[in-house]
């Protein structure tokens, strides 16, 4: 009989059973979401010099609090298949929880929170005069001419108001499977004729409506944004993000981002980082865009992100069920409905939630079985709001 490896004893399966066909499904995702660079070619977003994590904070009283349906915070984290949870108030961590088998220093794939990180880099370039959001994509990326993106502006990309004939169905075996092959997240086709990211993006055509209409959440827009940033700056995205954001933030460890066979960054969903570093990013926004007196993001950009976003475009768009009174601006969500909270979110249960009224920043990384579950999202968002209010 073959002796079980330490890996198998911890995870319940052998390493060789995880592959590109199953790495985003349970039970494999519990491990693979913290080890993405073993699954998909990745580039490093360097912090320059690492730093120690903050001391762990044990808060059993907070974890025992009752949420809306009578369960405790800790039970909700388990039920929602959360891997790590970190909560801070006014810049100080007040609670931290990790699922059994998760180390607090583990990085985690944050999926579409990557969009919000990419938008921050775009905002910094805008303030530097390097990027004009009103520029058509075709002027920056000539290969986009003839596609849906030719006359879409950078602002349309940021606000998900591009007219695009594409189906954002995560389990689709057509549009989305082809997209995931282009980003190297799925096994290659047997015929070996898969496109790389840029060829895929520039093959997409317009839908019937014009650009600038309803909010239509389509991930290819944010991958095109990453290519736009590289062309506008003349710098590869991993180095650009490191220089403008990750190093000034004082992140404790390097982040990673998956890349396609040509090195194009998966800026729509490929970033992995430590939960504490994601929390620091949220705190930076709550602190007006500064860290230790050094400005990273302008107050102008933060105010625009928080206060703008078209509520009618949201109400008539593809995500209205996610936030009843929401808005979307510069790839960040605003909760609305009397709340000034804003957030970044990704499938399989990734959240960065910030409430400027109470000084709350909260990170939740997960390996939920389903890519999207509206009931789970609503329970978690309700719990986040409660924890923000209660102090």
pLDDT in tens, 237-275: 999 999 999 999 999 999 999 999 999 999 999 999 999
Residue 320 lies in a domain: yes
| Residue 138 CB contacts under 8 Å (≥ 6 apart), including other chains | 144, 145, 149, 150, 151
Q: How many degrees, rounded to 5, is the angle at CA 183 between CA 178 and CA 188?
A: 60
Q: What per-residue confidence (pLDDT) applies to 171?
A: 72
Asked whether residue 1 carries a pLDDT value surpassing 60, the answer given is no
Residues 222-234: pLDDT tens digits?
Answer: 999 999 999 999 9
Q: pLDDT at position 168, please?
A: 86
Average pLDDT over residues 150-155: 98
Residue 53 lies in a domain: yes
In a domain, 20, yes or no: no
pTM over 0.85: yes
Provide the mean pLDDT of the chain. Answer: 95
pLDDT of residue 6: 87
In a domain, 200, yes or no: no
Chain segment 110-138, per-residue pLDDT in tens:
999 999 999 999 999 999 999 999 999 99
Mean pLDDT of 283-296: 97
188 in the Ramachandran plot: left (φ > 0), alpha (ψ -120 to 50) or beta?
A: beta
How many alpha carbons lie under 13 Å from residue 328 in its C-beta half-sphere?
Answer: 32
pLDDT tens digits, residue range 303-323? Answer: 999 999 999 999 999 999 999
The percentage of residues in the chain with a pLDDT greater than 70, rounded to a whole number, is: 98
Question: Tell me, what CATH number does 40's domain have?
Answer: 3.40.710.10
Where does the pLDDT of residue 2 fall: very low under 50, low under 70, confident under 90, or very high at 90 and above? low
Strand-by-strand arrangement of the 42-45 sheet: 42-45, 255-258, 271-273, 108-109
Q: Quick check: is 160 in a domain?
A: no
- Find tokens 């920056």 and name the residue: 140
What contacts 132, CB < 8 A, 6 or more positions away?
126, 154
Q: What is the mean pLDDT of residues 331-359?
A: 97
- For residue 352, give its domain range: 26-131+235-390
Calculate ∠ Cα 385-267-181, nearest 5°. 115
- Using 50, 70 and 90 to split pLDDT, how confident is the model at 391? low
Q: Where are the beta strands (DSSP E) in the chain?
A: 42-45, 82-89, 92-98, 108-109, 255-258, 271-273, 290-291, 294-295, 327-329, 332-336, 339-346, 350-355, 360-366
Would you say residue 70 lies in a domain?
yes
- Domains in the chain: how many in total? 1
- Contact, 274 vs 106, CB < 8 A? yes
Supply the pLDDT for residue 175: 82
Q: Is residue 214 part of a domain?
A: no
pLDDT at 142 > cutoff 60: yes
pLDDT tens-digit series, residues 178-226: 999 999 999 999 988 899 999 999 999 999 999 999 999 999 999 999 9
Domain membership of residue 206 (yes or no) is no
């Amino acid at each position: 009989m073959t002796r079980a490896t330490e890996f198998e004893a911890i995870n319940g399966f052998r390493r060789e059973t995880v592959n590109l066909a199953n790495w985003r499904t349970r039970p494999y995702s519990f491990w693979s979401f913290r080890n993405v660079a073993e699954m998909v070619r990745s580039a490093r977003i360097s912090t320059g010099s690492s730093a120690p994590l903050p001391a762990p904070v044990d808060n059993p009283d907070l974890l025992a609090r009752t949420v809306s349906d009578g369960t405790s915070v800790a039970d909700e984290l388990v039920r929602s298949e959360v891997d790590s949870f970190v909560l801070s108030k006014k810049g100080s961590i007040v609670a931290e929880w990790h699922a059994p088998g998760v180390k607090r220093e583990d990085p985690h794939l944050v999926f579409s929170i990557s969009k919000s990180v990419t938008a921050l880099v775009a905002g910094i370039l805008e303030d530097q005069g390097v990027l004009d959001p009103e520029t058509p994509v075709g002027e920056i990326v000539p290969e986009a001419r003839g596609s849906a993106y030719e006359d879409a502006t950078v602002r349309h990309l940021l606000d998900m108001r591009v007219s695009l004939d594409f189906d954002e169905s995560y389990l689709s075996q057509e549009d989305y499977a082809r997209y995931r092959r282009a980003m190297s997240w799925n096994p290659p086709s047997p015929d070996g004729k898969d496109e790389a990211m840029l060829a895929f993006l520039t093959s997409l055509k317009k839908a019937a409506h014009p650009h600038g209409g309803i909010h239509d959440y389509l991930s290819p827009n944010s991958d095109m944004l990453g290519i736009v940033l590289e062309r506008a700056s003349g710098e590869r995205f991993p180095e650009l993000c490191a220089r403008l954001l990750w190093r000034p933030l004082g992140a404790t460890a390097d982040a990673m981002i998956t890349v396609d066979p040509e090195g194009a960054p998966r800026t729509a969903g490929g970033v992995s980082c430590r939960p504490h570093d994601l929390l620091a990013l949220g705190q930076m926004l709550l602190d007006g865009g500064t860290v230790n007196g050094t400005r990273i993001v302008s107050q102008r950009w933060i105010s625009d992100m928080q206060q703008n976003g078209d509520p009618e475009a949201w109400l008539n768009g593809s995500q209205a069920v996610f936030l009843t009174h929401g808005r979307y601006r510069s790839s960040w969500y605003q909760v609305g409905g009397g709340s000034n909270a804003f957030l970044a979110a990704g499938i399989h249960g990734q959240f960065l939630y910030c409430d400027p009224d109470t000084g709350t920043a909260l990170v939740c990384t997960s390996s939920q079985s389903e890519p999207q579950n509206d009931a789970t999202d609503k329970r978690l968002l309700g719990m986040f709001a409660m924890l923000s209010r209660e102090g």
